[in-house]
Amino acid sequence: MPSLKQRAACIGIATSPLSVRRDFMGQLTNSVPVSVRQQVDRLGSKFVHVNCIQVGSDQFTSADFVEIDRAVARTRDLYAAAGRSMGVGRVQHFVISTADARGRDVINSDGEAESLTDEWTVPNDALDLFLVRMYVGSTAGLSRVDGPCDKDAKGMDGSVVEMNAGGGLSDFATAHELGHYLGLSHRNNSTALMNPTIPNGGVITTSEADNMRDHCRMKNPC
Amino acid sequence: MSVLIGSRKDRTVSGAIAALDGKPTTLTTGTAIGILVEAAAASPGSQAGKRATTALTKALTGHEEPQVRVAAAKALGRIDAPAAVRALRRVADDEVDGQLVAAASEGLARLGTRADTRRLTGAADRATWEHAVTAAGVSTRLLAHRLGLRLDPADVALRLPGEDAPTLPVTGRIKARIHDVELPVPRKAAVPDPQWAALVPSDAAPVGAFDCGGRTHVVLATGDPARLREAPGVAGALLGTNESMGTTYVRWVVLTRPEGDGVAVTVARPTGEVGFVGTGSWGDDGSLTVTVEAVDAPGATAARATATLRGRTFTIDGRAERALTVPRLVPAAFAPR
C-alpha cells in the first residue's frame, strides 16, 4: 500500500513540512469532507494537476473558498466515478488581484474570458483554471476543447469558470469545463457531465474517459 | 465551450429578478444579469424589457455586492434605452467607485453620443483608480471611432494601452503562415456578440477568415470603407468562435484614422488593449491594403501581416512566430489571510 508521502512526492508536493489538507488535498478550508485514503488510492489512476487561479482575489470571501473546495472535491469524485477512473492530482492556488485583473474579474463576454487566459498563466505542468465570481450571460464558463499543453502555445490555454458561492453549481461547471479542456465535446444525454446544462447527471462514459486519459495534460499513475 | 446554468422555469425575467433579490433559484447572479440584459437588449420598449432595465438599474445602485453592481453597469451598457444610458451617465458623473466608473465608461463607448466624450474625459480626470482612468480614456477613444469624431493623435489621454509599445519583429526560427481559410461558421452566424456589437459598424459583414498559428479569426468588414478616408472609424472586427454554442464573439476591433494619404491602423481588444498596429493605403480601385505588426504585450506573438479589402473580398498573407514571443503574466501564489 503506497504511503501518503510517496504519493505526495509523486505529484510534486514537498513532503516536509506537509499539510495534508492544504498541500496534498489542495483544500483552502476545513469545511468540505475529504478522504485522504481515497485520494491516495485515486492517484493510482491517471490524473491531471490543476492550478486554481482566483481572479479579483481580494473580493473572494470565505464562502467562495468553500465553493472552490467543493468544486475540487466534486471534480475528483466525478472523475473517479468515470467509466475508467481518473484523478485530480496536485491542486495549487494562485491569485490575481482586482487591480491586476483590470476589469476581467467580472467577465462580460467569451472574448474577455479568452483574453484572461491569453494574458495569464502559471508556468508549470498543471491545467490553469481561472475562477471568477461573475460571468455575465447565460453561460458560466468557457474552455477550449482539447486544449494545448504547451503554455507557450498561442490561444486559450486554460478554462474559466464562474465560482458562484452558495449556488452549488460551480462544482459541476468546473468538472465540465476541465472535461472540455481534456478533449470532451457536448452531449445531449441529460445524465452526461458534458450535457451543456448544469446541473446534470455528471456521468463520464468509458469512451469519454479514454479520450480524457489520452490528453497530454494527463499524468501516468503514481 | 460553455455550460448553461439554471432551470427553464427560472430562466425568465421574473426568475432573474428573484435571483438578484437573493431569493433561492437555480440561477447564479451572473446568469440572472445575463437573462435580464438579453431581455432588455432584445426589446427595450417592451414590458419585460422595461422591468429588466429597472432591475439592473436597481442592482447598479443598491446591490450589496460590488461585483454585482459592476456587472449591472456592464449589462446596462448593452441596452440601447434612455433609462440605461441615463444610469450610466450618472455613474460616470458622480460615482467614486473606480470599478463602476470603468464599467460605465465601457457602456458609454457603445451607447454614448458626442456629448459623452467630455463626460468620459471628466471621469478619467476625476478617477483615482488606475484602471478607471485607463477605461475612461479607452472609452473616449472608442466612442470617437464609433461616431467618426476627429481626434488629436498627439493627445496622450486618447492613446490606447500598448499602442505606443514597440512592435515585435518576426525572428523566431519556427514560423507559421497567416493565410485565408474557409469560414468556420455559417455566414449568418458570423456576427459580433451583443456585448460588443455596437462597436462594430452596422453594415459590417463577414468577408473571410484566416488562420494564424492554429487560431482562426473570422473577419467582419464595413461595407463602406471609403468613409474611413474622412474621419476615425471602425473598419471591422475579428471574431473568435465558440464551437459548441454556435456563437461568435469579438476578439479584436480594427480602428483606423486618416493619416497622410492613408490610414493609421490599431487592432485592439474591445476593452482597449492593443494587439497590433500599422498603416494602410488606398488603391485606385477603392481597395484598402493594411500592414500590421504585433506589439509588445503579455502573451503576444510576433506577427506581421498584410491584408487587402476590395469590395467584399478579403485576402491576407503574413508570418507569425509559432510560439509566444512575450511570456504571459504569472499570478501570485495564494497566501491564506
Q: Assess whether pLDDT exceeds 60 at residue B126.
A: yes
Q: What pLDDT is stored for residue B7 in this prediction?
A: 77
Report the 3 state secondary structure along chain A.
CCCHHHHHHHCCCCCCCCCHHHHHCCCCCCCCCCCHHHHHHHCCCEEEEEEEEEECHHHCCHHHHHHHHHHHHHHHHHHHCCCCCEEEEEEEEEEECHHHHCCCCEECCHHHHHHHHHHECCCCCCEEEEEECEECCCECEEECCCCCCCCCECCCCEEEEECCCCCCCHHHHHHHHHHHHCCCCCCCCCCECCCCEECCCCECCHHHHHHHHCCCCCECCC
Phi-psi region of A81 (alpha: psi -120 to 50; beta: other; left: phi over 0): alpha
Q: What pLDDT is stored for residue B174 in this prediction?
A: 75
Question: What's the mean pLDDT in B153-164?
Answer: 85
Q: Assess whether pLDDT exceeds 60 at residue A166.
A: no
Q: pLDDT band at A108, cuts 50/70/90?
A: confident
Q: Assess whether pLDDT exceeds 80 at residue B33.
A: yes
Residues 6+ apart with CB under 8 A from B90: none
Grid cell locating B74: 456592464
- Do the Cβ atoms of B271 and A162 come within 8 Å? no
Q: Assess whether pLDDT exceeds 90 at residue B26.
A: no
Report ipTM (2 d.p.): 0.94
**What is the distance in angstroms between the Cα of A32 and the nearest Cα belonging to chain B?**
17
pLDDT in tens, B294-306: 999 999 999 999 9
A4-213 CATH, one of 3.40.390.10, 3.40.50.2020, 2.40.50.140, 3.40.50.2300: 3.40.390.10
- Do the Cβ atoms of B244 and A185 come within 8 Å? yes
B3 at interface of A, judged by CB pairs closer than 8 A: yes
Instruction: Give the ranges where chain B is alpha helix by DSSP (H).
Output: 13-20, 29-42, 47-62, 66-76, 82-94, 98-111, 115-126, 130-147
pLDDT in tens, B243-291: 667 789 999 999 999 999 999 999 999 999 999 999 999 999 999 999 9
Angle between helices B29-42 and B13-20 (to 10 degrees): 140
Chain B residues 248-267 with CB within 8 Å of chain A: 249-251
pLDDT in tens, B197-249: 999 999 999 999 999 877 899 999 999 999 999 999 999 999 998 766 778 99
How far is it between the farthest Cα atoms of chain B?
65
Q: Name residue, grid cell 484523478.
A: A87
Give me the half-sphere count of Cα atoms (radius 13 Å) on the Cβ side of residue A25.
24
| CATH architecture, domain defined by B13-158 | Alpha Horseshoe (1.25)
| β-bridge mates for residue A46, sequence order | A86
| β-bridge mates for residue A128, sequence order | A51, A158
Residues 6+ apart with CB under 8 A from B85: B108, B111, B112
- Whole-number Å distance between alpha carbons of B286 and B265: 17
- Nearest in space to B236 (alpha carbons), one of B123, B137, B312: B312
Q: Name the 3-class secondary structure at B23.
A: coil
Q: pLDDT band at B326, cuts 50/70/90?
A: very high
Average pLDDT, chain B: 91
Q: pLDDT band at B173, cuts 50/70/90?
A: confident
Grid cell locating B88: 450610466
In one-letter notation, the amino acid at residue B280 is G
For chain B, the domains span 13-158, 175-321
pLDDT in tens, B103-117: 999 999 999 999 999
- Do the Cβ atoms of A115 and B273 come within 8 Å? yes
Cα nearest neighbour of B327 on chain A? A152
Q: Assess whether pLDDT exceeds 60 at residue A165.
A: no
- Nearest in space to A132 (alpha carbons), one of B261, B67, B256: B67
Q: What pLDDT is stored for residue B242 in this prediction?
A: 79
Rounded to 5 degrees, φ, ψ at B200 are -100, 135
Size of interface A-B (CB pairs under 8 A): 203
- Do the Cβ atoms of A164 and B30 come within 8 Å? yes
> Is the distance from CB of B199 to CB of B110 less than 8 angstroms?
yes
Q: What pLDDT is stored for residue A197 in this prediction?
A: 82
Q: Name the 3-class secondary structure at B229.
A: helix
Rounded to 5 degrees, φ, ψ at B188 are -65, -30
**Percent of chain A beyond pLDDT 70?**
98
pLDDT in tens, A168-210: 678 888 999 999 999 999 998 989 999 988 778 899 999 999 9
- Whole-number Å distance between alpha carbons of B265 and B275: 11
> Is the distance from CB of B261 to CB of B276 less than 8 angstroms?
no
Q: Assess whether pLDDT exceeds 70 at residue B22.
A: yes
> Is the distance from CB of B243 to CB of B160 less than 8 angstroms?
no
pLDDT in tens, A48-99: 999 999 999 999 999 999 999 999 999 999 999 999 999 999 999 999 999 9
Q: Name residue, grid cell 496622450.
A: B156
Q: How many CB atoms lie within 10 A of CB A41?
A: 16
Name chain B contacts of A133, Cβ cutoff 8 Å. 67
- Whole-number Å distance between alpha carbons of A95 and A106: 15
- Whole-number Å distance between alpha carbons of A138 and B37: 10
- Give whole-number Cα distances, A128 to A9, A54, A77, in Å: 21, 11, 20
**Over the range B32-43, which residues count as b (16 or more CB within 10 Å of their CB) and which as e?**
bbbbbbbbbbee
- Whole-number Å distance between alpha carbons of B289 and B283: 7
Q: Name residue, grid cell 485522504.
A: A36
- Do the Cβ atoms of B130 and A99 come within 8 Å? yes
- Do the Cβ atoms of B332 and A59 come within 8 Å? no
- Whole-number Å distance between alpha carbons of B273 and B264: 16
Q: What pLDDT is stored for residue A168 in this prediction?
A: 62
Chain A residues 142-181 with CB within 8 Å of chain B: 142-145, 150-155, 162, 164, 167, 169, 172-173, 176-177, 180
∠ CA(B300), CA(B301), CA(B302), 5° rounding?
A: 120
